[in-house]
């Protein structure tokens, strides 16, 4: 399963071999074949208002054959969780920041908030999931939906409130990537071993990341 290496500003998830990967990552989104999923940590100076972020990230990724996510959450605070159900193993790597949290179906009113001050603690929720069971592209799509459910369940359980008082369900810039060997299995729903393993691993990684953020950054950034 995945090997994780921290070399700031990069966090590298090595899947051990090329996998089919599905994500909405800013670099190489959609269906891809890749061995690595990377995080690139950013700060204010990296992303001025007039920057073409896609072009900038492509240059940063030159020579790296990988899917890449962006976050301003300190990547040293990454969480890894693993679950095995009926011989199927899922492993999740997550970084969690909640300063731009949202409740689904609404957008919080952040008028007057000092985003330049907040950005160093801004973060987002980024997740990579590796499944041992080979999946078809259809199965990978369902796996992504299960990982998304688990992310939301963990954030709701954390009880973080957005401006206005609603319970957060995620952030405005979350990204999830799921990876599995290419195969013929079309199903990864909640009734399956693979769905249970994905859900448990993602929930545990995100829950721990949310708890860490709330214990350290949360009280200062929401004041």
Is residue 80 a contact partner of residue 92, using CB atoms and an 8 Å limit?
Answer: yes
Q: Yes or no: say if 194 and 205 are a contact pair by the CB < 8 Å rule.
A: no
Query: What is the structure's pLDDT at 20?
Result: 98
Q: Mean pLDDT per 10-residue run, the chain (223 residues)? A: 97 98 98 98 84 95 96 95 98 95 88 54 86 98 98 97 93 96 98 98 98 82 39
- Please state the separation of Cα 185 from the chain's center in Å: 24
Residue 67's DSSP bridge partners are 37
pLDDT recorded at residue 117: 52
CA 82 to chain centre: 15
Query: How far apart, in whole angstroms, are the C-alpha atoms of residue 140 and residue 192?
Result: 13
């Amino acid at each position: 399963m995945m090997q994780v290496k921290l070399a700031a500003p990069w966090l590298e998830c090595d899947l051990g071999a090329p996998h089919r990967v599905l994500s909405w990552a800013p670099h190489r989104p959609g269906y891809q074949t890749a061995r690595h999923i990377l995080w690139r940590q950013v700060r204010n100076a990296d992303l001025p208002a007039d920057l073409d972020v896609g072009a900038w990230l492509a240059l940063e990724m030159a020579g790296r054959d990988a899917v890449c996510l962006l976050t301003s959450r300190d990547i040293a605070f990454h969480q890894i969780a693993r679950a095995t159900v009926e011989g199927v193993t899922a492993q999740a790597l997550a970084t969690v920041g909640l300063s731009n949290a949202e409740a689904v179906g609404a957008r919080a009113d952040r008028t007057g908030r000092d985003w330049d001050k907040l950005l160093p603690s801004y973060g987002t929720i980024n997740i990579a999931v590796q499944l041992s069971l080979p999946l078809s592209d259809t199965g990978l799509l369902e796996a992504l939906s299960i990982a998304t459910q688990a992310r939301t369940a963990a954030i709701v359980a954390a009880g973080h409130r957005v401006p206005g008082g609603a319970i957060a369900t995620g952030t405005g810039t979350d990204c999830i990537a799921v990876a599995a060997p290419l195969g013929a299995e079309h199903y990864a729903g909640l009734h399956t071993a693979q769905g249970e393993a994905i859900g448990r691993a993602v929930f545990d990684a995100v829950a721990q990341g949310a708890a860490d953020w709330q214990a350290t950054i949360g009280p200062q950034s929401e004041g």
